[in-house]
Amino acid sequence: MLLMLAEPGVPLERAVRFRRSVAGAESNVATGLARLGHRTRWIGRLGTDPAGEAVLRELRADGVDVGHVDLDETAPTGLLLRDSHPHRAIDVQYYRAGSAAAQLAPEHIRPEALAGARLMHISGITPMLSPSAAAATQRLIELARAAGALVSFDPNVRRKLGGAAQWAQIVGPLLAEADLVLAGDGELETLTGRPADEAAAELLAGRARTVVIKRADHSATAVTAEGRWDRPPYDVPVADPVGAGDAFAAGYLSGVLRGLPEPRALAEAACVAALCVQTATDTEGLPTAAARDRALAAFTDGTDAVHR
């Protein structure tokens, strides 16, 4: 979607100045991984309008492959309006009913879009947009399996898209389809009806090889058949908390793709999230690999993070 972000601290209904950016759970993760040095492709739908052109331009600028994006000449690109504040609830307004993304369908996804992929990341937002988008999400999973790619899943529950029962019905079954699950503790409870740790144990007894539980206190726990590891958050000043979960996912998945042990992957995930929340927009603070490593050294060793 195109993101229009109100001036910092000003309530949305009073804001007169806005900053244009790009938002969307999957595109945020794609951008984060691309900046961290991974070859990344985003699959989605946009309108052939100025907003869609802006989204494509921003993703290309970050090195994201958009060659398999489907363009709709009749439906508009989705729009997100929001304000930002570090300490109060953020007002978020979605305008994507009837958008190109909401009309995503299985026929828009070509098998070659998954060619060469090692990992395919999805969120629960896409299947909640429409029945056809839910069917397209299932096709993506099937194509990922055929390509031999891992499936990573972040529910990313947004109550404006539906109630708890609807999320559990539509998105809950996708938990069992994923090799890697990154979910908030409340999200796991919403989707399964069980405490997060119990839900994680059940998923590990099925297909999942790792479940990362993001706690309400901003800590995280990675659980595998071999054990569990806890990671507290890094203490940083927060300018805008939106996008932290996607930044965490990008940082963690980068570690998975590089074969890092769980403690290091969690540390990098927490670091990327910490850098993200110190800036405005969902993506402005997403670091390069070098910036991540400098920040992580400063967080863990007290090393001077200034680039000389």
The residues annotated with a catalytic role in the active site are: 246
Q: Are 119 and 152 in contact (CB under 8 A)?
A: yes
Cβ-count burial 219-241 (b if 16+ within 10 Å, e if not): ebbbbeeeeebebebbeeeebbb
Identify the three-state secondary structure at position 228.
Answer: strand
**What is the distance between the alpha carbons of residues 306 and 272, in angstroms, rounded to a whole number?**
17
Q: Are 223 and 204 in contact (CB under 8 A)?
A: yes
Nearest CA to 58 out of 216, 284, 302 is that of 284
List the end-to-end C-alpha distance of the chain, in Å, as a whole number.
37
